[in-house]
Structure 1
């Protein structure tokens, strides 16, 4: 089974096209994390809490082992899950992942440092008629080639942007993971990458404007069984920006696992 973990300010629907491609060879599940999409929020969204949430979900559906694939925040959670429950992961994929260094786009730092009352006013404004379009445009700037993204991607995002819970959870995640100096070191998995013993694939957009591509290169050096694919035409959301190129990297990696069964 392949388990897909989405990033911040998105939800399980972001994997829709990836799921279709992977379903020809694997059972695939895309999990909507608490507070995103149609799931209820948690009081605490610390990575360790979300990691345990993922484990509890797998227990609930009686799945013991997975190939775990995560994008952005989901990449950080996928790594934490692998480190916390090493016996449950057969392979790991981290795409444009958080948690691999301190550097992050200054705009993310600015959002994290926004006082909560101000953020609440912004969220209320985004919930007014037409506010969802601003959220969609904010997502579009993370894409290198937004014209290549299917229309359903934008429809799903517009629907989610009308949810106060979704917007508040997204803001909470930014505040939790980012400080004045960038990504918070206490949530980083960079120092423990050497403990990940399963085959690991890093996929990164060359033009990622959220997390610089050199973080992927540095992470590769720490992984005992790591591989790296850099996609020249992709920004931060490589799963949507360059779907075919993303699958050219992901598809063979997950199919290789079948050969070892």
Structure 2
């Protein structure tokens, strides 16, 4: 039975699996597939509901984590280095709660172990700001043009920004709505101490969505973790500063 997941792949060798963010897709990792494809079997999925991947029901983190496991089974990946960005980092954490034996190393980029209570003021304001424009008739292209510039640091790579805007523009509105609703319910803070593999946390120096100080504190709660800051980057370090991000990841993989 097919997992229903579309993906991009480059190279052969140990599996290096990339999970994108809420406005992303497999294309978000093009710079990483090109860079690491000569040493790894570098793979980037379209999470359920994105790109050519079938939606998951329910659209929540446990279901997405199981979809990840099924996809890895389908493509014959028993164990991998798992790299998750933003909501992809949350899926990676959820995956670790049931499938930790399949992960040799873990990389969490621009993410968090929790978003907070669904009924909190911050969460309500966040949902309103991100989904409200769709309710007002805006398109995903409109949202991409509105939000991407505020997610990146100064002097971001122009090609990376074009990629980010183009990819977010193609996200289905319902998929985006579902992901945002799931995001504010996520909370695995109590699981951080249970992560038992070498872990790298990467923060963008100017990231306002997943601030560097928050990620540094997150690293302190994971037993075998190290923290790195991507100089000059905002929330999309892998696209806006790919050379910086790739160098940080390569150093971790070679340690």
TM-score, normalised by the number of residues in structure 1: 0.82
Partner SS state of residue 28, structure 1 = strand
Gaps of 5+ in 1: 179-183, 257-261
Give 2:158's match in structure 1, choosing from 149, 153, 157.
Answer: 149
Measure, in 2, the Cα distance between the counterparts of 1:135 and 1:126.
9
Partner SS state of residue 200, structure 2 = strand
Measure, in 2, the Cα distance between the counterparts of 1:193 and 1:159.
31
Measure, in 2, the Cα distance between the counterparts of 1:119 and 1:91.
38
RMSD of the alignment, in Å?
Answer: 2.5
Give 2:139's match in structure 1, choosing from 97, 122, 126.
Answer: 126
Match of 1:158 in 2: 166
Query: What do the CA deviations read for 1:142-198 (whole angstroms, capped 9, x no partner)?
Result: 0113641316x52574365255xx2221122112222xxxxx4xx222221111110
Distance change in 2, residues 1:155/1:87 (3 Å): closer
Match of 1:224 in 2: 223
- Tell me the number of residue pairs that the alignment of Structure 1 and Structure 2 aligns: 238
Give the drift of 1:224.
1.0
Pairing 1:10–2:24 present: yes
Give the drift of 1:9.
1.3
Indicate conservation of the 8 Å contact 1:100/1:219, yes or no: no
Match of 2:245 in 1: 246
Distance change in 2, residues 1:210/1:159 (3 Å): closer
Indicate conservation of the 8 Å contact 2:84/2:91, yes or no: yes
Measure, in 1, the Cα distance between the counterparts of 2:190 and 2:152.
29
Indicate conservation of the 8 Å contact 1:140/1:146, yes or no: no
Measure, in 2, the Cα distance between the counterparts of 1:241 and 1:75.
18
Measure, in 2, the Cα distance between the counterparts of 1:238 and 1:62.
29
Distance change in 2, residues 1:100/1:226 (3 Å): farther
TM-score, normalised by the number of residues in structure 2: 0.84
Give the drift of 1:47.
0.6
Indicate conservation of the 8 Å contact 2:115/2:183, yes or no: no
